[in-house]
Amino acid sequence: MRPLKLLLADDDRLTREGLAELLGERDDIDLVAVVGDGAAAIDALTRTIVDVALLDVDMPVLDGITAARITAARHPGVTVVMLTAFEQEGFLAQALSAGAQGFLTKDIPIDQLAQLLHSAAAGITVMGPRPTAMLAKSYREQAARREDDPEFTKAVDKLSPRLRNVFDLLTRAESNQRIADLLGLSEGTARIYVSQVLTATGCSSRAEVAVRAVKVGLGAPSDWLDAKAD
């Protein structure tokens, strides 16, 4: 098996040097770059052939989530795996939406880490035990919330892709003009789509759409607008 060409980015010097030493001793890992922030990782990707970029989430200059999104856009052949010492659910959702192939915590044993990096490079989504538990908990909670208003959630699920985009923006209380700008529509067309969303979901106002969406856990994620801008 060919050694995996790995880029490691972590702003904590002790963690970075410790991981670099352990991974560098392995025959199945070729540690081609070790950097201390997301901007340096992006720069290294332009100069080095990399199979997998292992990025810490919380880094200066350019954080890992943003670096992951840039990597996915500029270097689609590079697999991104996120690494963190934290157990924050928000980081997990952001990492996956940014195109990461996995999310691992820093307490994972080095042998297991290497194995999961190879799996990620092969196209398998990899998750450490704690992120897996976090994701399962999130899905259970979301499913429970959806049962609170089944008619509304069923109506939202039936929306066309275009109307679903409009719905997502309504949950963020965006104006008709803002919706038009983001979706490349005229303001008049945006107004028509908003009316169609209200009719389809059985809501009498934009505010009702937003309130019911929050209650059942639907709507745009926090980085929705950033993704659209990209």
167 and 134 share one domain:
no
How buried is 50 (Cβ within 10 angstroms: 0-12 exposed, 13-18 middle, 19+ buried)? Answer: buried
The interaxial angle of helices 206-216 and 161-170, nearest 10 deg, is 90
Last residue of a domain, one of 112, 138, 164: 138
Given this model, what pLDDT does residue 193 score?
95
15 and 117 share one domain:
yes
Last residue of a domain, one of 138, 173, 196: 138
CA distance 14 to 200: 55
Structure tokens at 223: 């980085």
Domain span holding position 223: 147-229
Query: Helix, strand, or coil here: 99?
Result: coil
134 and 209 share one domain:
no
Last residue of a domain, one of 103, 138, 173: 138
Counting the structural domains of the chain, the total is 2
123 and 162 share one domain:
no
Given this model, what pLDDT does residue 229 score?
44
CA distance 8 to 17: 10
CATH number for position 23: 3.40.50.2300
Query: Helix, strand, or coil here: 39?
Result: helix
pLDDT in tens, the chain (230 residues): 689 999 999 999 999 999 999 999 999 999 999 999 999 999 999 999 999 999 998 888 898 888 998 998 899 999 999 988 765 555 666 777 677 888 888 888 999 999 999 999 999 888 876 665 555 555 555 555 556 678 888 898 899 988 988 998 888 888 899 899 888 899 999 999 999 999 999 999 988 888 888 777 776 544 444 444 44
Given this model, what pLDDT does residue 98 score?
74
133 and 176 share one domain:
no
224 and 193 share one domain:
yes
131 and 155 share one domain:
no
**CA-closest candidate to residue 222, choices 81, 96, 84, 103:** 96
132 and 151 share one domain:
no
Given this model, what pLDDT does residue 85 score?
72
62 and 92 share one domain:
yes
CATH number for position 225: 1.10.10.10
Stated as kind and residue range, the H or E segment containing 152 is: helix 150-157
DSSP per residue, 40-62 = HHHHHHHHS--SEEEEESS-SSS
Q: Is the pTM of this model over 0.85?
A: no
Cβ neighbors of 83 (< 8 A, separation 6 or more) are 10, 54, 55, 56, 57, 64, 104, 105, 106
64 and 166 share one domain:
no
36 and 116 share one domain:
yes
176 and 124 share one domain:
no
